[in-house]
Structure formats: structure tokens, C-alpha cells
Amino acid sequence: MGEFVHVEVADQIATIRLDRPKMNALNSQMQRELGEAARAVDTDPEAHAVVVYGGERVFAAGVDIKEMVVMSYADMAAHSRALQGCFTAVAAIGKPVIAAVTGYALGGGCELALCADFRVAGESAKLGQPEIQLGLIPGAGGSQRLPRLIGPARAKDLIYSGRHVAAAEALALGLVDRVVPDAEVYAAALAWAGTFVGGPAVALRAAKQAVDQGLEVDLDTGLEIERLQFSGLFATDDAKIGMTAFADKAQPKFTGR
């Protein structure tokens, strides 16, 4: 699709592949291509699930510091909206998204992984938000998504210190969901994504929206979001197929409609 971000669809799983040697530093062009890729797979009916992958050696070492160091306040005030927007496009993909994390996922790389529903990490992976060591804070969602995932105190520890977290600690913190040998990261992410292929696509999108939107509001509002999503699914073919198959003690064959 782009020079630095490619999309491949195989077996109804889309892979968003980061490919900017040597460390997948996320410059402006790569950010733009990432947003375009996210929006493309979101609307692709052939893609039932998505894997975000940086390659065998590194996920993404962060936003391109060499590009940022020359920016003024006015420059970044204008650019930061686009920076957050491309990551939000990944978080908004209405399908199960799995980040396959190898090597470093630091700064913007960690923030990108946070946009996925699940994270599979290699045993030697390192994650973190080291922006404080540059006199900055996370700017692509880390100060918001990280505490929602692992809690405010743990998030503050990582953000205040800027330290790198090894895979085993990341698993204990809940920052990643599975740790596998380095050579198996992509295969493990594909296998997990494969469990969603052939599933009720509309219901999966509704479930993701209900959870993600519900986290941003009070309980009563969240319950109303759930009620509306739940009720709306009764207008889908998949709900009829699923309930009929259950009553008939058969396996449902969902159509995604």
C-alpha cells in the first residue's frame, strides 16, 4: 500500500506490516501510511482479523526523533493531531487486532501496540514509554491507553521512569497477553487471529465498540451502549443463524451480515 507500511491479506487475516529499516521509526510519512492502512483493512470484507507486525527483529522503536527535534511548538501543535489520529485509526478498526511484538516496542511503538486488542510478545521483547528521558511525555496515546490497560499506578511507574520492560514483566503487568519464543511471534499472532475467521463479523464489531466506548463513560451510559448494540444485532442475519443453529444443536455458518 505504502512505501513503509504494507497490507497483505491471506486466509482472511490482514497483516499491517511496518517496514522502515532499521528500527521502524515512525516518521510523518509512515504515520500517514499507517492511518491509511488501518482504514483500508477496517472496510475490507475479506479481512476478518488483523495482525500488526514490524518484522522479525523489531516492532517499532518509536516516533522519528530526528524529525521531531527540529519542530517548534507551533509545528508540533499542528502535527500532534495527525500523530494521534493515525494511532486512533488503528484502535478504531472494527475487527480483532493483534500486535505481534518482536524486539523493541518503545515510545510510539509501544503506543501502537496499545491500540491493538491483544499483544503477543517475543521472549526478548522490550516495551516502554521512554519519552520522559527526552523531556517529553507520550504523545500518541500512551498517557491515556496505558493506564486504562494496566492501571494508573503501574502506568505512572513506566511513564515517570521511562524504563524498558522485559517481556516477562510486561506479561505480569498485563501490558502483553502472551509471551512466546521470538521466532514464533508472528505465527502465534496469526493463529490467534485465525480463531476469529468465519465468526459473526457484525457482532465482533459491536462487542469491540461496546467495550471500548463503555470504558470512556459511566456505568449507566455504558449499559445503554451495550443495550443498543445488543438489540441492534437482532436485525442481522448472523444472529438468526447463530440462534437457529443453537436450537438445532448445529454449528453456525455465519455470513458476516
- Residues 150, 31: Cα–Cα separation, whole Å: 25
pTM of the model: 0.95
Average pLDDT over residues 104-129: 98
Tens digit of each residue's pLDDT (9 = 90 or more) over 149-175: 999 999 999 999 999 999 999 999 999
CB atoms within 10 A of CB 119: 28
Domains of the chain: 5-194 (3.90.226.10), 201-247 (1.10.12.10)
Let me know: does 227 contact 245? Beta carbons within 8 Å: no
Given a cut of 90, whether residue 1 has pLDDT beyond it is no
Average pLDDT over residues 130-141: 96
Let me know: does 210 contact 225? Beta carbons within 8 Å: yes
- For cell 465468526, the residue is 199
Geometric angle at alpha carbon 198, from 192 and 200, rounded to 5°: 105
- Residues 32, 4: Cα–Cα separation, whole Å: 10
Query: How sure is the predictor about 250, in pLDDT bands with cuts at 50, 70 and 90?
Result: very high
- What is the set of active-site residues? 111, 131
